[in-house]
């Protein structure tokens, strides 16, 4: 199968392909399947990073998520699992190490991380509890509600109030400075409160679905 055909397979079908190729001694084909499977997890990894590093801004989230996928692709030969659950464990261990690396250095390191099987003591210091896939689900809901805001000025309101805990007055001032040249309708404290109220209401609706 070529790359395009593999990309059209479901995650479970890709895992089955990888396992079969590995058993047949076709290591290159198995590694290609792992690389494609890693690439297809971009949305989930970005959601996980948004949940973990959202306060650092969307650029950091995207960069750390991209490095996670690149590391997983580079480490394709080391994946020996036979189920999608094992692959997600493999992928999110890399994601966790990337998150820890960013928090230690306060920058996105372009150097591939060593593919270690066990977390060291320093990684455990930063380790968060809970199921990472639950974090992805919550982040996906947040992302949907966030995108539905539409206007960039409204998105900035949510980022400033939710992640930076700014009061409505300061949020309005920062939004007006940011969009001064683009808007004839300045942001007010009342606008900030209304935007946040609508956003939280929409979040509740999505979480209840």
Let me know if residue 22 belongs to a domain: yes
Please check whether residues 72 and 172 belong to one and the same domain: no
- Count of the separate structural domains present in the chain: 2
In a domain, 72, yes or no: yes
Last-in-domain residue among 79, 103, 130: 130
Tell me, yes or no, whether 41 and 89 share the same domain: yes
> What does the radius of gyration of the chain's CA atoms come to, in whole angstroms?
20
User: Residue 145 — very low, low, confident or very high, per pLDDT cuts 50/70/90?
Assistant: confident
Does residue 90 fall inside a structural domain?
Answer: yes
Residue 172: inside a domain: yes
Q: Does residue 159 share a domain with residue 74?
A: no
Helix 84-105 and helix 27-40, axial crossing angle in degrees, nearest 10? 60
Do 175 and 115 share a structural domain?
Answer: no
Please say which residue of 130, 159, 176 terminates a domain.
Answer: 130
- Shared domain for 125 and 153, answered yes or no, is no
Does residue 76 sit in the same domain as residue 159?
no
> Does one domain contain both 152 and 126?
no
Ramachandran region of residue 120, left (φ > 0), alpha (ψ -120 to 50) or beta? beta
Q: Where is the domain boundary, 130, 162, 190? A: 130
Alpha helix (H) residue ranges in the chain: 3-7, 11-23, 27-40, 42-53, 58-74, 84-105, 121-126, 132-147, 152-158, 168-178, 189-208
pLDDT digits (tens, 9 = 90+) for 126-139: 444 444 555 555 55
Structure confidence by residue, pLDDT tens digits, 62-117: 899 899 999 999 999 999 999 988 998 899 889 888 988 899 888 887 766 654 44
Average per-residue pLDDT for the chain = 81
In a domain, 121, yes or no: yes
Asked whether residue 139 is domain-assigned, the answer is no
On whether both 63 and 111 belong to a single domain, the answer is yes
Q: Are residues 125 and 170 in the same domain?
A: no
- 187 and 84 within one domain: no
Residue 196's alpha-carbon distances to 105, 156, 176, 185, in angstroms, are 33, 11, 17, 18
- Do 37 and 121 reside in the same domain of the chain? yes
Confidence of residue 121 (pLDDT cuts 50, 70, 90): very low
Residue 141 inside a domain? The answer is: no
What's the pLDDT score for residue 119?
A: 45
Range of the structural domain that residue 204 is part of:
148-208
């Amino acid at each position: 199968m070529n790359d395009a055909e593999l990309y059209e397979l479901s995650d479970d079908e890709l895992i089955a392909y990888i396992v079969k190729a590995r058993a047949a001694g076709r290591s290159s084909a198995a590694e290609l399947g792992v690389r494609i499977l890693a690439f297809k997890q971009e949305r989930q990894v970005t959601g996980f990073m948004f949940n973990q590093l959202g306060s650092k801004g969307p650029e950091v989230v995207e960069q750390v998520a991209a490095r996670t996928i690149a590391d997983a692709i580079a480490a394709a030969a080391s994946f020996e699992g036979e189920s999608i659950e094992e692959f997600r464990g493999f992928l999110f261990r890399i994601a966790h190490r990337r998150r820890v690396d960013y928090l230690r250095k306060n920058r996105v390191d372009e150097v591939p991380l060593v593919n270690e099987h066990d977390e060291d003591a320093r990684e455990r210091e930063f380790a968060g509890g809970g199921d990472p896939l639950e974090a992805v689900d919550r982040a996906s809901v947040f992302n949907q509600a966030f995108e539905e805001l539409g206007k960039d000025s409204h998105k900035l309101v949510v980022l400033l109030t939710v992640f930076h805990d700014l009061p409505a007055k300061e949020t309005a001032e920062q939004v007006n400075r940011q969009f001064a040249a683009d808007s004839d309708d300045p942001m007010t404290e009342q606008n900030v409160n209304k935007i946040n109220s609508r956003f939280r209401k929409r979040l509740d609706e999505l979480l209840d679905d």
